[in-house]
Structures are given as C-alpha cells and as structure tokens.
Structure 1
Amino acid sequence: MHQPQTNLAVYAAHPSHSRGRMFDEAGPQFRSDYQRDRDRIVHSSAFRRLEYKTQVFVNHEGDMFRTRLTHSIEVAQIGRSIARALQLNEDLTEAIALAHDLGHTPFGHAGQDVLNACMRDYGGFEHNLQSLRVVDELEEKYAEFRGLNLTFETREGILKHCNLEKAKRLAELGQRFLHKTQPGLEAQLANLADEIAYNNHDVDDGLRAGLITVEQLCEIALFRRQYDEVKRRYPDITGRRMVHEIIRRMINDQVSDLINHSQDNLRTHRPESIDAVRALPQAMICFSAEMDELNLQLKQFLRRQLYHHYRVQRMANKAGRVIRNLFNAFMDETAMLPPEQSRQCRQLEAEQDEQGRARVVADYIAGMTDRYAIIEHDRIFDPSALT
C-alpha cells in the first residue's frame, strides 16, 4: 500500500481530497494519484519529444544547450525542493513542472508567436492551453478515455493563464479565471520554479554561446553580488567553474527568498485548506518586493541582450518561415498530412468547418520537434526531397 507524504501542511494538496479526474478510475495501489499523474506524463510521447524542442537555441546548434526536456526536469527539481521546505505536495509539484511545456511548439517562443499569428482567425494558439489539450485529448494511450485523464489539481497547475472567452469553455477548470480566484499552492509554486529555472539557465546558455558576457552581466545586481562573493572566496577561479558557482548561488538566492517570503504570507493569512488558498485575494507563493525588482532587471537584460541578439533573431526568423510555410501548405492541401492527422482533419472539419481543419494542422505542427519540422519542410518544399 502507498505510504502518503506525512508532513503535508493543511493548505497543501492532499491526494485523498482531490477533485478527481474527468473519467473515474480505481485509485492506484502503490502510488498516490499525483504520482500516477507524474508517471503518465513521463511516459507520454509529448514528454519524449521535448528532448528535441528549443529552449532558446535550436536543438542542432549544439548538444550542450538546454532543451524543453532538460528545462522541465530542472523546473521539477527546483519545485520539489521548495515544496519540501513549505510542506507542500512534492509529487503534484513535480507533475505540474514536468507537464507545463508539453504543448510548446518547435523553435521556442518564435514558433509559438508565428503559429498564433497563423491561427488568428481560428481561435489563436497559446502553448499553455495546448499543454492542457495534449494531456486532455491528444495523447492516445488508454482504452477507456482520450488523453491522460490527469487529476484536477495537475490540470489546474498546467493552465497558468487563460482569457475569459476560453475559460467559459473549460467548465470547472476555467472558473478561477472567471471569478478571479487563485490556484492551489503547488500550481503557484511550479509557475515560479519555471521562472527561476529559465532566467538563470538562459544566462548560462547565453554565456556558453558567447552571446552575452560576464562583464555585461556584472551590470545586473543579482549577478554582480554573487560574482563578487565567488571571486572573494575563490580569487583565481575562471571560466565554466566560475559561471557555475555564480549561477548556483543566484538560484539559491531566489529560492531562499521565495521560501521565506511565502512562509511569511502563509503565517499571516493562515489558510486552513487548499480551497481557502483558492479563495484568497492574492497568491501566497511569491518573491519579496526586492527580489521582484532584481528579477525584473535580469529579465529586461535577457530580453535586450540575448533574446533580441541578432543571431537569435536570425534563428527565430528562419523558424518562423518554416512554421508559416508548413501551416499554409497543410491548410491548402490536407491530403499532405499523415493518415492519422488526415482522419482527424476530416472529422473536426465536419464538426467545425475550416476552424476544425486549422486546429488539427496546429496540433500537428505544435507536436513536431525542431528537426522534424525542418525535415517536413524539406519534404514539402525541396524538389530533391521526394519522400
């Protein structure tokens, strides 16, 4: 029999009090329901494909850079550490962290932006909603239901934001956006663990790629104070070891601030259950005002110096053309889709006309890895690639 996590706070998510799954299932014998969610996510085909999806750098640019898969694992690691300190549910936090990018397009945010533009007349595209669509509908593994049939709490954490029109179509899951309530603490935590992971690891990858420099980063307070500490303790340290020592301290600084400030919030408001957390007017898991300002400075630096670097912009522009060309080609001639997508296209088009066709095309493109999207593009547009 599964032994439940025994040190959970009253305001944590307890699997025995879950709001359940869309399709009833017998409970697992040797795992909690949140562990079952985690395991279903890890065994999903969408999770495996994250290995070849861009974080900042396209997969084939080098095997030392983060991918969506390594990023998701890093988010889960940070999330579990914080959950343990706050006596929240580690398994639920891990499940949300591992699933949060399942709907991301190839080529990172550049791919999402272009696919959203292509889908403007058909309901738009947003990777957060697509992640939910993946686990609710697109994964095909089980005999009795579509998707992974995850618990409400995991699905709540995956859906970080949603506009009101779409929230109305999401039944219970959309209620918090309509009524401006909060998600559970594990969902709040996974969102900020994501932020900690990508900000700091984008610094690491940007330095490794030579697109930003230590000298530039020393103008950023969060980096500079850890740089000074590392050089004080290890005066002769240089290179990758120096960068690692700085970044691990930056992560620790942010994690410690998040834990301490969140503990203060919880002591002040004293919620007695996860539903009491949801009813509060503001999130309980958050940074201090000082750390918020330091994080904002770092984000602005990364946007200006890394994400808008001409080499990253060249990649984004090329990636955008691949996505746009694929979308237009499949919309013009659905017979070019593989048999499974062709079947889905006929079915959804019969139900929703052109919007149904567009959604199947978007699902197919969003599920591609970087390299598969490039291969498909060559197959369609390169006369020498006839297969």
Structure 2
Amino acid sequence: MQTLASYACVPAQSRGRRFPEAAAPTRSDFQRDRDRIVHSSAFRRLVYKTQVFVNHEGDLFRTRLTHSLEVAQLGRSIARSLGLEEDLVEAICLAHDLGHTPFGHAGQDALNECMKPHGGFEHNLQSLRVVDRLEERYPQFDGLNLTFETREGILKHCSPANARLIEAREPEGVARRFLDGTQPSLEAQLCNLADAIAYNAHDVDDGVRSGLITMGQLCEAVPLFARYHDATLADYPGLMQPHADRRLLYESIRRMLSDQVYDVIDTSRAQLAAAAVRSVADVRGCGRVLIGFSEEMRAGSQQLKQFLFRHLYRHPQVMQTMDLAQQVVSELFAAYMVEPECMKPRFVQRALQADGLSARARVVADFIAGMTDRYAAREHERITGLRLLGNA
C-alpha cells in the first residue's frame, strides 16, 4: 500500500461529490472516479480523436486516447516517488482531454471562432462539461459525479469570465482558484506537467515517423534532444546504420523522458521543502506552483516545444490538412445552427428547447466537440456532399 505524504490528497478527506453517494466497499473515491472515466463514452471516443495527424493519415500516430494513457503512466510514476495520490493523478490524466474537439487544436480553434458570439469554447471547460453534464449513464444525475479533487484537476485552465459563471453556479467550487489566485492540489499540478512532457516526446516520435521532421534537424536546433541522441550513439555506435534509426530515435526519446521525470522529482522535492508545505491547505495557499522542472530542463523543454511548433505543427503539409479540418468544423456548426434536426436525437431535443441563440449554439458545440475525426468528416460529407479529408 502506498504511503502518502502529508501534502497529498487523501480520499477519505475529499471535498466530496456534487451529489452525495455512499462509499464503495472495495474502492476509494478516487479509484471510482478513474473507473467511471475509463467506462465513459467520451473516453472511448478519444481513440479516434487525433493530436497532430488526422485519423486517416496513419494507424500508428498518437490519438487522444494513447496520449492520455501515456500522460497517466508518467503521472503515476512521478506521483509514487513524491508520495502523492496515484489514483487521483491517474483519474485527472485520463480525463484531461475528454472535451477536446475532433482534429486537435485546429478543431478547437475553429469551434472557438464559431462560438465567439456565444461565450467562446475552451477545451478544459468542455472536459468539465463532459464529466458534469454530458455523459448520460446514471439515473440519479447527469455526468459522472466525480469528486471535487478530480474535477479541479480537469479544469486546469479557465478564463475569468467562465470562472465567474462557474462560481455563480458552484460557490467556492472548482473555479474559485482562478478568481482568488490560490493553487490546485499537487496531483493536479503534476498532471499539467505530465501532459506537457508526454506531448513533446510523442510529437517528436510521430513527427520523425511521418518524415516531416528529422533527427538531424532536432540535433541541430534542440540541444536537449541532441544530448540524448549523442549519448545513445556513444553507447551504441551500431545505431548509426540506416536500418537502426527507429531504435536510435526510441532510445533517445526514452532517455530524454527518464531525465525529465527525475528532474521533476528532484526539483519538486526541493521546492516542497523550501516552501515548507505540510498539508493540502498549505499547497493551495502557498502562492506558486510547486511541481516543476529545474530552470535548465524547463528552458530545454521550451526550446523543444518551440521547434515542434515551427517545424511540425506549422509544417505546410500539416497546415493544409488543418485548414480543411477547420472548414469541416465551421461548416458543420453553420449547418446545425440552421437545421438542428440534422444532429443526433438527444441533441436535437436540447437545441429545440434551448432558450435563445447562444443556448442553441452551446448545444451545437457540445455535439461537434464530442465527434471523432472520422465521424465529423463523414457528417460533413453527408451534409455538404464534399469529401475533404481522405477516406474518412
């Protein structure tokens, strides 16, 4: 059994669920949260929602589901070393992308543009809507009725305007920290960093596999990657052979990930000691994030992120596909606003009962955000007669 640090969240001391439930006989509240997330419809749909490459572009590229699993693995490993609550970390990691649209950030940007007159669209807020309202599994309540601590971790970013709206519905709830400047739990802080670590590593892998970036480019522009690439070759010179490039890439990424994990553990331990935190309340009130990289690793990680932004996310081939993906989302939104009857029945009912145009737009956004890449592409083709994205 794991021994928790004094500043870890303890299931028995959870702030509870919005709708009270009796405790389970064999599972903690955070274990139940994790299990509810894994069994949700939104979690299953992540397998056909992509990160950078659209679903039809290849079978081995990461999806939101594989990304979430990798984030959870990193999160649990670090949590165990720091004495944090592993089940809570895993629950947050597995749920953090439930609100993402099809087609990655391109889909999110397109949907946000469509929703600007109606309050905008934030994928973190949408993830909270999924677990609070949109999942339909239980007769007693909408959503999954997760604990406060899991919901707080899911809502890792939130605009002040949306924070005020949530606070009005849920006083002193999950959005309060965005208004008073307090910090979330260490488990939530850890999930934020595990997300970034996983994102950079697997986008290097997918980017090189796709042929859009090369290890040579990475070594020239990103000292962080070059360090592990060169160390790998020093230990295994045979990997210089062309047929061994997959092993060289994997080992370089593996070493980079391991060092980043150890860096987070060592740096966070030092920061926790310096801040003299002894409880969850101390963590929330300390005024700064305590889970993080050393300055050197943070700078290297940021440099890698900037390289990926310029050379992968903004690669002409990726941009061409993303432009088409944004067209799909925008045209679906316009079509459903005019003819909500084209949506699935439960969304049709909500749209027709909506009080005003903005309320209808939110229903349409909920429907589109829940789509997988291939379902969105098929729906767009059905409505417009245009096939924009491969053989979706």
TM over 0.5: yes
Residues 241-270 of structure 1 show CA distances to partners (whole Å, capped at 9, x for unaligned) of: 110000000101111111100000111122
What are the equivalent positions in structure 2 for 1:324-363 lying under 5 Å apart? 324-347=330-353, 349-350=354-355, 353-363=356-366
Per the alignment, residue 390 of structure 2 pairs with none
Q: Where does residue 316 of structure 1 map in the other structure?
A: 322
Instruction: Give the match's secondary structure for 2:105.
Output: helix
Using the TM superposition, give the Cα deviation of residue 169 of structure 1 relative to its aligned residue in structure 2, in angstroms. 2.1
The answer for the alignment partner of 1:12 in structure 2 is 8
Q: Does 1:186 align with 2:187?
A: yes
Q: 1:383 to 1:367 in 2, by over 3 A?
A: closer
Q: Distance in 2 between matches of 1:145 and 1:73?
A: 27
> 1:175-324 to 2 correspondence within 5 Å?
175-219=176-220, 220-237=222-239, 238-324=244-330
Whether the aligned pair in 1 keeps the contact of 2:263 and 2:294 (CA below 8 Å) is yes
Aligned-partner Cα distance in 2 for 1:200–1:383: 35
| Corresponding residue SS for 1:21 | coil
The code of the aligned residue for 1:270 comes to A
SS of 1:174 mapped into structure 2: coil
Name the CA distance, whole Å, in 2 between partners of 1:174 and 1:107: 27
Deviations along 1:185-232, one digit per CA (max 9) or x if unpaired, are: 000000000000000100000000000001100021110000111000
CA deviations on 1:294-338 (whole Å, 9 max, x unpaired) are 011101100000000011001100000000000000011112222
Aligned partners of 2:351 and 2:363 also within 8 Å = yes
Structure 2 spans left out of the alignment, 5+ residues: 388-392
Instruction: Find the residue that maps to 1:146 and give its secondary structure.
Output: coil
Matched to 2:70, the amino acid is E
State the SS of the aligned residue for 1:116: helix
Aligned residue pairs total 377
Q: Per-residue displacement from partner, 1:129-152 (whole Å, max 9, x unpaired)? A: 000000000000001110000000
Q: 1:6, CA displacement in angstroms?
A: 4.1
Gaps of 5+ in 1: none
**Is structure 2 residue 26 aligned with structure 1 residue 30?**
yes
Instruction: Confirm or deny: 8 A CA contact 2:122 2:158 kept in the other structure.
Output: no
**Alpha-carbon shift at residue 177 of structure 1 (Å):** 0.6
Q: Could you list the structure 1 runs, at least 4 aligned residues long, displaced by more than 3 angstroms after superposition.
A: none
- What SS class does the counterpart of residue 177 from structure 2 fall into? helix
Corresponding residue number in structure 2 for 1:41: 37
- AA at the equivalent of 1:372: Y
Pick from 132, 135, 154 the counterpart of residue 139 of structure 1.
135
Letter in 2 for 1:249: R
1:124 aligns with 2:120: yes
| Sequence identity percentage | 60
> Counterparts of 1:315 and 1:382 in 2: how far apart (Å)?
18
